[in-house]
Amino acid sequence: MKKKILSFVVLVTMMATLLAGCGSKSGSSESDIEYIKGKGTLIVGITDFAPMDYQDDNGDWIGFDADLARLVGEDLGVEVQFTEIDWDNKILELDNKSIDVVWNGMTLTDEVSSAMACTKPYLNNAQTVVVKADQASMYDSVDAVKGLKFAVEAGSAGETAAEDNGFEYTSVTSQADTLMEVEAGTSDASIIDSLMAGAMVGEGTSYADLTHTVDLTTEEYVVGCRKGSDLAAYIDEEINKFTEEGTMKTIAEEYGVQEALVK
């Protein structure tokens, strides 16, 4: 009997130890900021999206968001690395730690706010229709564009706008690809961010024969971090600091988005 009691006590003690170990593991989860500092890198998930994130002639990533991300990285004391992602998989990339943050002119949506820890909005934006410039006068209202075939970026606010309006559309990899579709005539129109349209279509751009017409939505940009991450609050503090210093306005003016800054 004593042996049985002793065995039972040993078993209970082992189970208690295991449970305690499990409890301490889940209760001492490292902050996201400390995790990033520990590995020495801030990996930023982006797409090729002027004027937010795009490559210069040397292949370096620049843009309003890219420059801000580098400033945050400097204050964290880590190297900033930019990696192009499939925008439709941004939440998965974040959760599996392939990236640490989504910082690429990301529209605040219910999906984004429920799956990520988001910063406060920092830029205003809209989803706008892009067509051939010589057809612009024909497509200056939502009703006028309803019969067009659209190209949209998969998983983007532009795709949501197309769905909400019942438009016929094809999903492609990036917003830049939607412009190629319109240029080639394989789509009648595209739906992209108005900030991108201002930088990439019209006179003096690579798509001089395209223009944007009607806005379908109004929206705001946020930076997305892992759910529960303390990095979002840190970035908010950084943006507040950059705003007070005037750095935010200076960078915005460099990329022509100063009028879109959230006041």
135 and 176 share one domain: yes
Tell me, yes or no, whether 24 lies in a domain.
Answer: no
Which amino acid, 226?
Answer: R
Tell me, yes or no, whether 17 lies in a domain.
Answer: no
96 and 139 share one domain: no
Tell me, yes or no, whether 171 lies in a domain.
Answer: yes
CATH code of 199's domain: 3.40.190.10
DSSP state of 129: E
Please answer whether residues 210 and 183 qualify as being in contact, where contact means their C-beta atoms are separated by less than 8 angstroms: yes
Calpha distance 113→152 (Å, rounded)? 22
73 and 90 share one domain: yes
135 and 119 share one domain: no
Q: What SS3 class is residue 131?
A: strand
Residue-by-residue pLDDT tens, the chain, 263 positions: 444 444 444 444 444 444 444 333 333 367 999 999 999 999 999 999 999 999 999 999 999 999 999 999 999 999 999 999 999 999 999 999 999 999 999 999 999 999 999 999 999 999 999 999 999 999 999 999 999 999 999 999 999 999 999 999 999 999 999 999 999 999 999 999 999 999 999 999 999 999 999 999 999 999 999 999 999 999 999 999 999 999 999 999 999 999 999 98
Tell me, yes or no, whether 15 lies in a domain.
Answer: no
Residue 8: its H or E element:
helix 2-27
69 and 192 share one domain: no
Please answer whether residues 126 and 212 qualify as being in contact, where contact means their C-beta atoms are separated by less than 8 angstroms: no
90 and 157 share one domain: no
Q: What SS3 class is residue 26?
A: helix
Tell me, yes or no, whether 27 lies in a domain.
Answer: no
42 and 86 share one domain: yes
Whether the link from the prior residue into 51 is cis, omega within 30° of 0, is: yes
Domain that holds residue 235: 32-123+221-260
Nearest to 158 by CA among 120, 82, 205, 212: 212
DSSP state of 87: G
Domains in the chain: how many in total? 2
205 and 77 share one domain: no
179 and 237 share one domain: no
Q: Residue 85 is encoded by which pair of tokens? A: 């992602």
132 and 212 share one domain: yes
117 and 139 share one domain: no
Name, in order, each residue with C-beta under 8 angstroms of 170's C-beta and a sequence gap of 6 or more. Answer: 149, 150, 151, 152, 181, 187
Please answer whether residues 83 and 53 qualify as being in contact, where contact means their C-beta atoms are separated by less than 8 angstroms: no
142 and 203 share one domain: yes
Tell me, yes or no, whether 242 lies in a domain.
Answer: yes
Tell me, yes or no, whether 26 lies in a domain.
Answer: no
